[in-house]
Chain A
Amino acid sequence: MVSVTSDPGAVEGQAHSGPPPVVPEFVIVPRWGFIWSAFVLIAVVVVVAVNSLWPLMFLHVTFGAGWTIVDLFLGFALGPILGRLSIPARVEFTARFMPKMVVLMPGLVAGTLAAGWQLSTHLGTNMTGAAGHGWVVASMIVVGIMSIIALGLLEPANITVLIEMKKPRPNPAVIERLMKRFMYTAGILGVMQVATLVIMTRLGSL
């Protein structure tokens, strides 16, 4: 456990008194994360090679649902709650929550996209002239924008917060700034996931 140096002037709008918040012990990349990543890798390789409808559909829908639910929950439920927590509670939550996001999300996203493209090829919906092709292109645009936001803002913020919290004297200003970025970005992705739900249900209704 390490103490976060309390610098009230550095943390915008936060009046914190009492002992400095304590960062619980954590690892940046949990060991189960390697098992999860290996599982995703093997599952995608096997399912794409087999190229059967049900496994492709199962992988795409389950991983896609996981991705959508996490983004919606983070953006609309957890984010606003986290913003109202005290700094010690926020620090403890962050130390326990963010390592899970580091390993969970890349696997969910990579699995969803790889299985989704293969599924689209299998069904022929990514071919021009196919029914629903416009919706497939629309989904690619939405996913493309989401990927740029996630890779450009969310993932670097996630890693930086964890590395900052691993320091002997973490800087609360850095953690505060990047957690805000993380939560706002998650909110934007949550809104974009609504667009994904519209597109996917339209495709499923054809």
Chain B
Amino acid sequence: MNDSEPKYPPFTEIAMGSLALIVAGGIYLSAHLPQHVSLGPAVVLLALSAGLMVFNLFSLTRVQGFAWERFFAVGKWSLLAYTIIAALIEYVFLQNHLSGGPLVVLTLSLVVFAVHVPSLVGFTVARYHTTLPAAVADH
């Protein structure tokens, strides 16, 4: 770390917290099959997770000199990969005749997953793109 390094929000920590919330929601729903289960806790966990993701991405826009070009260059390919993985998981849900509220909650959880993980990869690459001395010297 050096003095010229911009101050970054705790993006990784918040992203991991957000992922933990949707994982908890998914386990809560999966652990009660095939019984009827209240969607309330899963919806709250999903809403908190999505809220953290929005806050996380917003907090990045406040960072001066953030390497957005690098963020998007890596993030778009990562987004493609994680969208395919999310689609694969969605396919398994549909094959198991999941429907109604649980399907909506789990699908939206997959959307948060498929956006937040690529953002995390993009953030880590962009963060180290310009901050340390030798990297700065590349420009």
Contact = CB atoms under 8 A, between A and B. Distances in A.
Contact of A169 (B19, B27, B92, B134): B134
Q: Is the interface of B mostly helix, strand, loop or mixed?
A: helix
Given A110-B88, A156-B121, A167 B135 contact: yes
A95 interface: no
Q: How large is the interface on A (under 10, 10 to 19, 20 to 34, 35 or more residues)?
A: 35 or more
Given A156-B121, A169-B138, A126 B95 contact: no
Q: Is the interface of A mostly helix, strand, loop or mixed?
A: helix
A159 B78 contact: yes
Given A44-B88, A140-B27, A156 B120 contact: yes
Interface string B102-137: 000000000000000100110111001000111101
A86 interface: no
B74 interface: yes
Given A48-B92, A169-B134, A172-B134, A148 B121 contact: no
Interface of B: 12, 15-16, 19-20, 23-24, 26-27, 30-35, 74, 78, 81, 84-85, 88-89, 91-92, 95-96, 117, 120-121, 123-125, 128, 132-135, 137-138
The 7 A-B pairs of least Cβ separation, nearest first, read: A156-B124, A171-B134, A152-B16, A144-B23, A137-B31, A156-B121, A174-B128
